Amino acid sequence: MPGFELFGDLERKEVNDVLESGVLMRYGFDGMRNGHWKAKELESELQGTFKSNHVQLVSSGTAAVTVALASAGVGAGDEVIMPTFTFVASFEAIMMLSAIPVLVDIDDTLGLCPEAVEKAITPKTKAIMVVQMCGSMANMDALQTIANKHNLLLVEDACQAIGGTYKGKPLGSIGDLGCFSFDFVKTITCGEGGAVITNNKDYYLNADHYSDHGHDHVGNDRGAETHPFLGYNFRISELHAAVGLAQVKRLPEFIDIQKRNYTVLRDALSQIPEVTFRTVPEGGEESYAFLNFFLPNADIANKVAQNFKESGVDACWNYYTNNWHYLKKWDHLKDIKSLYPVSPEVRKGLEYLKTKTYEKSDHYISRNISCLIKLSWTESELKERASKMVKAIQDSL
């Protein structure tokens, strides 16, 4: 991760197909395409990759979450349970629909804590959104049981976890709907792009229409298509899809490299008794896009993060004070800083954030270091990195 590290002839070939046809839009202009339909081809490839009946490409991972929720009827005043550790896009996508993000604690998987989810359910709860952060997963069996018990949607934000599996199923394919991102720093990149996957035909058709201004995509004349309901523009372009089409064919190659590099680093850090690793639920296999580990306390984690920087170990973060990925620094959410008026219902629904504390999440995130696993490391670079990481940690203890 990320896939741009290994761009090559296959990506160039797919992009050139689009440039030669001159058609950059995924819909229409049939006669000019010379048979090239990159978005449709990528959706077909992803159906096999995700073992899912339906795939709808969209413009980003954020768009994927919004479209997924909208396609299942989530909207104004509905509550969506989500974790404190994620990316800001998670609550942005919920609030775009005038729904209310309900943040709850994580556990040692770095994913949603099932007990916290159960306690957060109210009559307004419509969905549980599990975020498969940093290439791994939450306790999916427990979360599925809770969703079934309360007749709630289970939505997987698997934007950071393509290639991971749980009991033989690709992450993203376990819930009612799955969401993926193919932005510039993902294992498979389109530059910008995303996907909604589902086995529910109604949700798929809703996503297909909603992401393109409500077009029903019936027939071969775009101008004659009807609009069964309101929609918006969350389309992916043919250029972005072309890059993704090349990249998805290389996913097994990328995952093999990530696993190799991850294993070298984890084996090295495993020799340090004070280092422990995130829990991967039984039956789960990470995508190996990140190596996440815990230190004994927050002070040591801070020292390790600083020592990494000073010793040239890049792409490693302590998310506790990160502006993008943890609740602690989301003042713009807690204070509802918006360019336009937020509905009274949503404003009231977010009042809990002014007083609620998340000690369990703090316990894990403050001690966690997350390291990106690059695809482009040479064997010598990998060994040197492992050595530097071990020394930096030992010097901090």
Residues annotated as catalytic are: 186
Q: Return d(Cα 263, Cα 270) in angstroms, integer.
A: 10
DSSP H helical ranges for the chain: 9-21, 38-50, 61-71, 89-96, 114-120, 140-150, 201-210, 238-248, 251-269, 298-310, 331-334, 344-349, 359-365, 379-396
Q: Return d(Cα 238, Cα 188) in angstroms, integer.
A: 16
What's the DSSP call for residue 32?
G
Q: Return d(Cα 335, Cα 315) in angstroms, integer.
A: 30
CA contacts within 13 A on the Cβ side of 102? 20
Which residues, at least 6 apart from 147, have a Cβ–Cβ distance to it below 8 Å? 128, 153, 154, 175
Q: Return d(Cα 47, Cα 247) in angstroms, integer.
A: 15
Q: Which residue has the tokens 């959706």?
A: 43
Q: Return d(Cα 55, Cα 188) in angstroms, integer.
A: 16
What's the DSSP call for residue 352?
G
Apex 229 CA angle, 228 and 234, nearest 5: 110
φ, ψ dihedrals at 375, nearest 5°: -85, -20
Q: Dig out the tokens for 371 from the structure.
A: 């390291």
Strands in 165-166's sheet, in edge-to-edge order, are 169-170, 165-166, 284-285
Q: How many CB atoms lie within 10 A of CB 27?
A: 16
What's the DSSP call for residue 278?
P
